[in-house]
Amino acid sequence: MCNTNEETAKKRVLSCIQPSGLLTLGNYLGALKNWTEMQYEFDCTYAVADLHAITVRQEPAKLRSQIYSTFAILLALGIDPDKNTVFIQSQVPEHTALSWLLSCYTQFGEMSRMTQFKDKSKKHPDNINVGLFSYPVLMAADILLYKSDLVPVGEDQKQHLEIARDIAVRFNNIYGDVFTVPEAYIPKAGARIRSLQDPSKKMSKSDDNVNAWIAILDGRDDIIRKFKRAVTDSGSEVRMAEDKPGVSNLITIYSAVTGKSTADVEREFEGKGYGDFKLAVGEAVADALAPIKQKHDEIIKDKKAMEQLYKAGAEKAEYVARKTYFKAMKKVGFVL
Ligand code: TYM
C-alpha cells in the first residue's frame, strides 16, 4: 500500500535522475547521498527520469542498459524499495499527461530564460528539439504529481525548481488548492561539484574529457589516478579560497565524503603538499564508492528481480499520480 501523507504525516520528498550516461560523483554528492539519508525521515519517491534523457539523441541499446544500471544504483545505495517508491518515469503515463496540461499554463518567455536550455542548445545546435525546450514542464509534472514538499537536488536544478513552483502557484490561483508548492532541498556540502580538469565548470557525465569526472561505477585505480591528475592552483596550501578553485573543489569533495568540516580538512593537511592531499581525496572517494559498485554489479545480474521491483514501484507511484492528475483535469473542466 502507498504511504500517503495523510497516513504518515511525514513530509513528502521526490527526486529523479536522468539515465543519460554514467552517473557521476557530482550526482552522488549533490543528490543521491541525500536521497538515501532522507528515507529515514520522510515519505520518499525516487525515479529514473528516462523520458528526460531523450531530449538529447540516445542510442537505444545504451539507453536501455543505462536505465537498468541507474535503477540498480538506486537500490545499491540502500534506498529501500518497500519503504519508499522507486520507479522508472516512463512506466507511469501520468507524467507525460500532466506535462501537457501544465504546458498550457507555462509561458514561452519563461522557458526561453532557462540557462540549461541555452547551454544545451549551444552544445547540440543540430538538435534543438521542442522536448529540450519544454523539459522543465515535464520536471514540474514529476514533482507536482506526488504533492512533493521537498525536492533534493544539486544547485544546477534550482532554476527548474523555481519554475515548478511558479506553475503550481499559477494553477492554484486559478483553480484552488490543487498542487503542493515544492521547495528545493540543496546540500550544504556538494551542491555543485566541479570538473577535476576545469573547476570553472560543473562535473558532468557529458564532459568529453574522462579525467574531468568520476563515475560512481569507476574502479579504485581509475578514481585514484583521476584525483592525482586533478588540476590544482598556484601555491601549495590546502585551503578554501576563491583564487584556489581546484583545491577548494577537492576540499569540498573530501569534506562531503568524509563528513569532516572544511576547517578540519584544512587542519588535517596543514604543512602537507597537494600530492598527499590528492591521494587522500582519491582514497576517500574510492572507499565511499566501492560498496555501491559492488552491490550494483550484483543487482544488475538479476534482471527478473529488478523487473519485479520497478513494476511494483510504478504501480505504487501511479496510485498517487493518478489521483493528482484527475483532480487537475477535473478542475480544468474535462469530463472524467
Ligand atoms: P541530472 O540527472 O542531471 O542530475 C541528477 C541530480 O544530480 C545533481 N547533480 C549535481 N550536483 C552537484 N554537483 C554536480 N556536478 C552535479 N551534477 C548533477 C543534479 O542537480 C540532480 O539533482 N532535471 C533533472 C532530473 C529530474 C528531476 C525531476 C529532478 C527530472 N525530473 C524532478 C528533481 C525532480 C536532471 O537533469 O538531473
Residues 238 and 319 in one domain: no
202 noted as active-site residue: yes
pLDDT at 3: 46
Atom of ligand 1 nearest to the CA of 154: 20
pLDDT band at 7, cuts 50/70/90?
low
201 belongs to a structural domain:
no
**Residues 109, 251 within the same domain:** no
Q: Is 227 contained in some domain?
A: yes
pLDDT in tens, 52-75: 999 999 999 999 999 999 999 999
Residue nearest to atom 36 of ligand 1 (CA): 18
Mean pLDDT, the chain, whole residue set? 95
State the distance from the centre of ligand 1 to the C-alpha of 17, rounded, in angstroms: 6
The answer to whether residue 49 is domain-embedded is yes
Q: What is the mean pLDDT of residues 72-89?
A: 97
Domain tally, the chain: 2
User: Which pLDDT band holds residue 8 (cuts at 50, 70, 90)?
Assistant: low
CATH number at residue 139: 3.40.50.620
**Residue 198 lies inside a defined structural domain of this protein:** no
Point out the least confidently predicted range of 50-54, 94-98, 234-238, 332-336: 234-238
Indicate which residue's Cα is closest to atom 3 of ligand 1.
Answer: 18
User: CA 278, CA 224: separation in Å to the nearest integer?
Assistant: 8
Same domain? For 252 and 288 the reply is yes
pLDDT (tens digit per residue) in 219-241: 999 999 999 999 998 888 999 99
The verdict on 128 and 16 lying in the same domain is yes
Is 78 found in the same domain as 144? Answer: yes
Q: Is residue 196 part of a domain?
A: no
Catalytically annotated residue among 33, 202, 226, 316 = 202
Q: What φ, ψ does residue 274 adopt, rounded to 5°?
A: -60, -35
Q: How far is the CA of 270 from the centre of ligand 1 (A)?
A: 34
CA of 227 to the centre of ligand 1 (A): 23
Better-predicted residue by pLDDT, 189 or 212: 212
Give distance in angstroms: CA of 157 to centre of ligand 1: 6
Do 291 and 309 share a structural domain?
no
Q: Is 205 a catalytic residue?
A: yes
Distance 36 CA to ligand 1 centre (A): 15
Domain assignment present for residue 204? The answer is: no
pLDDT at 2 over 70: no
- Give the CA distances from residue 69 to residues 50, 61, 64, 221, 266, in Å, rounded to whole numbers and listed in that order: 12, 12, 9, 21, 36
Active site residue 244: no
Identify the sign of the CA torsion 52, 54, 58, 60.
positive
| CATH number of the domain that residue 229 is part of | 1.10.240.10
Q: Is the backbone of residue 78 left (phi > 0), alpha (psi -120 to 50) or beta?
A: left
Flag whether 129 is in a domain.
yes
Q: What is the mean pLDDT of residues 312-321?
A: 98
pLDDT at 102: 98
**Given 33, 120, 226, 244, which residue is catalytic?**
120
Q: Is 221 found in the same domain as 111? A: no
**Which residues contact ligand 1 via a Cβ below 6 A?**
14-18, 26-27, 29-31, 49, 52, 139, 142-143, 151, 153-154, 156-157, 160, 190-193, 202-203
Cell numbers given for 298: 550484483
| pLDDT over 70 at 310, yes or no | yes
Q: Are residues 322 and 288 in the same domain?
A: no
Domain range for 265: 210-296
Q: Determine which one of 10, 158, 205, 327 is catalytic.
A: 205
Q: Does residue 160 form part of some domain?
A: yes
Atom nearest to 27 CA in ligand 1: 7
Q: Say yes or no: 222 and 140 in one domain.
A: no
Q: pLDDT tens digits, residue range 110-169? A: 999 999 999 989 988 999 999 999 999 999 999 999 999 999 999 999 999 999 999 999
Same domain, 168 and 249: no
Q: CB under 8 Å to 146, separation ≥6 — which residues?
A: 12, 14, 45, 317, 320, 321, 324
Please check whether residues 28 and 134 belong to one and the same domain: yes
Predicted confidence band at 9 (pLDDT cuts at 50, 70, 90)? confident
- Asked if 82 and 150 sit in the same domain, the reply is yes
Residue 4 has pLDDT above 90, yes or no: no
